[in-house]
Chain A
């Protein structure tokens, strides 16, 4: 992985740059350290992100869309649990235009079409919830993170969105998001650092500093093992997802659980879940584990889509594989294979300017520093079989939630 530079604008916005010569498109990621966890009502963060593309003091939503598309500039805004992110991707020749447009939406958005946006967003959420898998995951999140800042699932948003007012959006954006101390801009492409810094200083260096209120994100307690079930008459498959609270991205257990995840169900076609439940038992097409490492805690899940008469076999299968990790040391070869798999996937996830720009900024906004994108490799190299057994026992001995969706007979 090549090197990068970090600089600060005069108002303390951090700028990370990496020059990749001979690449046709430049990627900019602007992170703000607020995220869904700062919203008072579920939906505020997402609506804010959407409204950032719905018009500024001088450009209507349509004019903005036209200017972007006429120049083939991609610009989107994403709201995640721990950050708000604006992402832009464009041909090298359009750098100035792209930064102009980014400046305009970041500084001059009016947020005035809130009611219209609520209606559009509601429609899109309903469409997503028509997918049985999405619905099963939604129910898992809602159950695991009840009344918790990380629990703002699709259905929670649908419930709370009608109460959101434009002041909520403005407060969220101007008082907890647009705060230079908590902002990172990462630029990767065939462009010089000096040129980037000059234009970013001009466009964003005068954003005023504010104090960002602290927020406490507690670790939710799952008091008992729970199973929640949704019955859907149209479902051909049964959806099963089991979730545990895992470590935060900054936790010392993060590298070990990352390797554990590869071994259990994230390596592709050779993971334990894939081999045992798909190859040997023919229970599913799609079976996997995944780790979502957030700033304050993590979410570890195992998922399978199966025939309704296989539900018990699958849950038993999950249990067998989890217990194996808790009771048996992973052999040296499997451990090394998993690490190499992880390193290869990392290369795969860092191939484009857009991906590199994302990860450099991501680790920084998660308070790990942009260098963590490289340090993580060293940390993963040091993981031992004992570490894996230890984290398996630590996290999988806690209570879990199983969310199922199927056609009840």
Chain B
């Protein structure tokens, strides 16, 4: 076993608008990145983001990124299953993990003490979990037929299948998943992150281990510490603990190129015993790094659908003589290989046609006419306030950095965003609306009562 502590290749300092000291980025020789952000207060947040998610999957292993995330908590040679959770939660930690299309991350938020005992212990346990998972067969559980789930040993496969079932009962999730598969025909983003019950019930342990070894490489990893910490000291502790048990070379991820969508797509599904209708509309957006277009869509999201002053709320809910929509909203989902601009609404089922007409009309208006000056001003103020909001807790700062490193692959974009924002004009926003929010390129998913 190689016990050499990886050397530091380079260091970078980046000033965040609402973080007191410059955030320190350390790039190690083996490719691992360690990031330390100072935030006064009692809590520290420790996380590692791995640049792998459903984008790294194909049909035969759909859902493996997320299943692996569950299994990472099932013990190491040093700490058997359950110990990680028990030890850290008994010290007041909040422990969890999440998987999305472009990344998987594991985090611990814990109150620190004067001697850094909690912090040091957390780093040790966290690094051990990331680097030495056993992924034990007995915790994964035997392969079974999901149509006939009468096995004695119900283990983690069943937990994930219950999670799938839980999502089936969430109507927004259903509507989103259907929209998502409408938007992508070939690109890896077409698959649901959670995967399918068939694969989860049958995927062999070896396949999961192979996936782990292939993608959990130092080059794909970003370890972030946020809190009232001595950067120098913590850097050494993280380096000492993050010694990979074997060399893991990073393979370049090859993705399918999604052909440009040139037509509108529509799908309608049905569910028994619901009383309202669900609607989601998705447009292919810019790459996150394409800052100008990205910001324009953030502005359009605020103008169209965020808050009670938004056009959706005012025009689709407040000013309608009869109830059409119950709730409305917009957001931009950021993905490494192309964002999605999303509009959503819940409506009175008998008014489906009217609902679709009204919401499309709002999109047509931002394509036909520039947004008003006060709307642009409002959006800029809200986006700037968002920077303060994103820096309020140690976990917010950790997530912000992890997101930028794995999705933008560009941390300086976070800082240049504010400068770029200042210079955006209503004409820029109009151009972006024309380019991306074209109703001839929209994917619409509707869920109706049966």
Interface residues in chain A, defined as those with a beta carbon under 8 Å from any beta carbon in chain B: 22-25, 53, 61-62, 65-66, 68-72, 91, 119-120, 122-124, 126-127, 129-133, 232-237, 267-270, 275, 278-279, 281-286, 305-307, 309, 336-338, 340-345, 347-348, 351-353
Question: Given the known A-B contacts A120-B323, A270-B89, are A237 and B165 also in contact in the complex, defined by CB atoms under 8 Å?
Answer: yes
1/0 per residue B80-112: CB within 8 Å of A? 011001100111111110000000000001110
Give every chain B residue within 8 A of A347 (Cβ-Cβ). 42-43, 92, 111
Chain B positions 273-299 with a Cβ under 8 Å from a chain A Cβ: 273-276
Interface residues in chain B, defined as those with a beta carbon under 8 Å from any beta carbon in chain A: 18, 20, 40-43, 73, 81-82, 85-86, 89-96, 109-111, 141, 149, 154-160, 162-163, 165-166, 168-171, 271-276, 307-310, 313-314, 317-318, 323, 325-327, 346, 348, 374, 377-378, 381-382, 384-385, 388-389, 391-394, 450
User: What is the CB-to-nearest-CB distance from B36 to chain A, in angstroms, rounded to a whole number?
Assistant: 19
From B40, B43, B272, A233 is in contact (CB under 8 Å) with B272
A-B CB proximity, top 8 nearest: A344-B92, A282-B158, A337-B90, A282-B154, A123-B326, A269-B85, A24-B388, A285-B163
Bound-state CA distance A209–B427 (Å) is 54
Give every chain B residue within 8 A of A71 (Cβ-Cβ). 381
Give every chain A residue within 8 A of B109 (Cβ-Cβ). 348
Bound-state CA distance A52–B83 (Å) is 50
- Of all chain B residues, which has the CB nearest A121? B326
**Inter-subunit contact B393/A352 (CB<8 Å):** yes
Give every chain A residue within 8 A of B169 (Cβ-Cβ). 131-133, 234-237, 305
**Inter-subunit contact A72/B323 (CB<8 Å):** no
**Inter-subunit contact A282/B393 (CB<8 Å):** no
**Inter-subunit contact B327/A69 (CB<8 Å):** no
**Inter-subunit contact A351/B43 (CB<8 Å):** yes
Bound-state CA distance A275–B86 (Å) is 10
Give every chain B residue within 8 A of A353 (Cβ-Cβ). 392
Question: Given the known A-B contacts A127-B276, A340-B90, are A69 and B95 also in contact in the complex, defined by CB atoms under 8 Å?
Answer: no
Give every chain B residue within 8 A of A129 (Cβ-Cβ). 275
**Inter-subunit contact B95/A285 (CB<8 Å):** no
Bound-state CA distance A122–B318 (Å) is 14
Bound-state CA distance A46–B309 (Å) is 21
**Inter-subunit contact A69/B91 (CB<8 Å):** no
Bound-state CA distance A62–B374 (Å) is 14
Q: How many A-B residue pairs have CB under 8 A?
A: 187
Question: Given the known A-B contacts A132-B169, A237-B169, A281-B154, are A123 and B385 also in contact in the complex, defined by CB atoms under 8 Å?
Answer: no
User: What is the CB-to-nearest-CB distance from A3 to chain B, in angstroms, rounded to a whole number?
Assistant: 15
Interface contacts beyond A305-B165, A337-B90: sample of 14 additional A-B pairs, CB < 8 Å, sorted by A: A62-B309, A66-B374, A68-B309, A70-B381, A127-B327, A127-B346, A233-B272, A267-B89, A275-B82, A282-B154, A305-B162, A307-B149, A351-B394, A352-B393
**Inter-subunit contact B82/A279 (CB<8 Å):** yes
From B91, B155, B162, A306 is in contact (CB under 8 Å) with B162
User: What is the CB-to-nearest-CB distance from A335 to chain B, in angstroms, rounded to a whole number?
Assistant: 10
**Inter-subunit contact A61/B95 (CB<8 Å):** no
**Inter-subunit contact B155/A282 (CB<8 Å):** yes
- Of all chain B residues, which has the CB nearest A279? B82
**Inter-subunit contact B273/A62 (CB<8 Å):** no
Bound-state CA distance A141–B92 (Å) is 31
Question: Given the known A-B contacts A25-B389, A123-B276, A343-B92, are A61 and B157 also in contact in the complex, defined by CB atoms under 8 Å?
Answer: no
User: What is the CB-to-nearest-CB distance from A191 to chain B, in angstroms, rounded to a whole number?
Assistant: 15
Give every chain B residue within 8 A of A235 (Cβ-Cβ). 169
From B90, B110, B141, B317, A270 is in contact (CB under 8 Å) with B90
**Inter-subunit contact B308/A69 (CB<8 Å):** yes
Question: Given the known A-B contacts A62-B318, A130-B171, A344-B111, are A269 and B89 also in contact in the complex, defined by CB atoms under 8 Å?
Answer: yes
Question: Given the known A-B contacts A70-B374, A123-B276, A285-B159, are A268 and B43 also in contact in the complex, defined by CB atoms under 8 Å?
Answer: no
**Inter-subunit contact B90/A70 (CB<8 Å):** no
From A237, A337, A351, B86 is in contact (CB under 8 Å) with A337
Question: Given the known A-B contacts A72-B381, A91-B385, A283-B154, are A270 and B165 also in contact in the complex, defined by CB atoms under 8 Å?
Answer: no
Give every chain A residue within 8 A of B274 (Cβ-Cβ). 130, 234
Give every chain B residue within 8 A of A237 (Cβ-Cβ). 162, 165-166, 168-169
Give every chain B residue within 8 A of A23 (Cβ-Cβ). 392
Give every chain A residue within 8 A of B168 (Cβ-Cβ). 236-237
Bound-state CA distance A268–B88 (Å) is 10
Bound-state CA distance A120–B301 (Å) is 23
Counting chain B CB atoms within 10 Å of each CB, the highest count among A232, A336, A353 belongs to: A232
User: What is the CB-to-nearest-CB distance from B330 to chain A, in angstroms, rounded to a whole number?
Assistant: 14
**Inter-subunit contact A268/B89 (CB<8 Å):** yes
**Inter-subunit contact A120/B326 (CB<8 Å):** yes
**Inter-subunit contact A282/B159 (CB<8 Å):** yes
